[in-house]
Chain A
Amino acid sequence: MPSNRPSGAGFVLDAVLNWLIPGAGYLRRGRYIRALLIFVLINGTFVAGLSLQGSVTPPIWDGSGGGIISMLTFIIQLGSGLFSGLSFFAVQGMRRMNALGFQPAPIVRFFSGWQPHATFELGSFYILVSGAMNYFFITNMYDRYRRDPLGRAIARKTARDKAS
């Protein structure tokens, strides 16, 4: 029996692209202005977080605090895809470089934040919000691009659209 599930490979590719580079999934669908707005909104918030010395915070499992909350925070912070990955690896890289006595490059320092800074928590919260909002954009693609039995995109209408 036919279902209204999103078209297989195309939809999955769009969702993955939209996760990696916010707005890229919509760009591939020809929604240029929407893609640009999402790109600026998500990455702008992420870069603002980095500017406040925040970073993607790796989860803590040593019993000193965090646990499941730090894991959930980490998963949500990964929502910005490529930038989140860069920040995560920069944090890991900084730890290793500091241990080995190397001087990290300025770009690595920018993406790794600075935990003792007064605005670290606030900056990391910016990164958390940007990731969470990008997850919303990705899941919204499911609503927008699910297909009918003939493979045609179903126009998405919210209750508010129908009422007006």
Chain B
Amino acid sequence: MKINDKILVAFLVSAGLFSLLQAGQYVKTLSAKEKRALLSVQKVVPQIKMVCESPDIQFTGNNKKTA
């Protein structure tokens, strides 16, 4: 696995979007263009969190203050 693929896997797993296995499987399905697009998101917004609950119903924000 190339370094950028590993970065994407780490991003997807840390965000809770997929398990490690699922993230690896998902990244394999992406084209080079799609990988670049997702990497660019990771650079701009490195911290994203997946919520299993339905956040339409449950507030999911943390205490991080925006400035």
A and B pair up: no
